[in-house]
Amino acid sequence: MKVLLNGSSYSVENNCSVNSLIKNLDLSGKYAIEINQNIIPRSQYSDKKINSGDKIEIVQAIGGG
């Protein structure tokens, strides 16, 4: 199914959890995840399922003033 990930269209398997997405993306370091403008706490990564059309934002800290 299709979702919007960081502004771009992205395909995930049906019934994909946030944890699976993280594994697929091979994310490392410190990041935070929002789905439809709701922050998903780390404790919910394995339970929270992604739905078709979800708008997902994954952010990290970068250089800034």
Partner 1 sequence: MTNFDKDKFKIADSIYSSRLLVGTGKYKNIQETKSAINESGAEIVTVAIRRTNIGQEKNEPNLLDIISPDKFTILPNTAGCYDADTAIRTCHLARELLNGHALVKLEVLADKKTLFPDIAQTLSAAEKLVNDNFKVMVYTTDDPIIAKRLEEIGCVAVMPLAAPIGSGLGIQNPYNIRNIVENASVPIIVDAGVGTASDASIAMELGCDGVLMNTAIAEAKNPILMASAMKKAIQAGREAYLAGRMPKRAYASASSPIDGRFF
31 binds partner 1 (CB under 8 A): yes
Give the residue, chosen from 4, 17, 45, 57, that forms a contact with partner 1 under the rule CB under 8 A: 57
With contacts defined by CB under 8 A, name the span among 11-19, 24-32, 44-52 that binds partner 1: 24-32
Q: Which region holds residue 22: left if phi is over 0, alpha if psi is between -120 and 50, else beta?
A: alpha
Cα–Cα distances in Å, from 21 out to 7, 32, 54, 64, 65?
16, 13, 13, 27, 31
**Does 36 contact partner 1 by CB under 8 A?**
no
Q: If binding is defined by CB under 8 A, does position 43 make contact with partner 1? A: no
Site residues, partner 1 (CB under 8 A): 5-8, 10, 25-32, 34, 37, 39, 41-42, 57-65
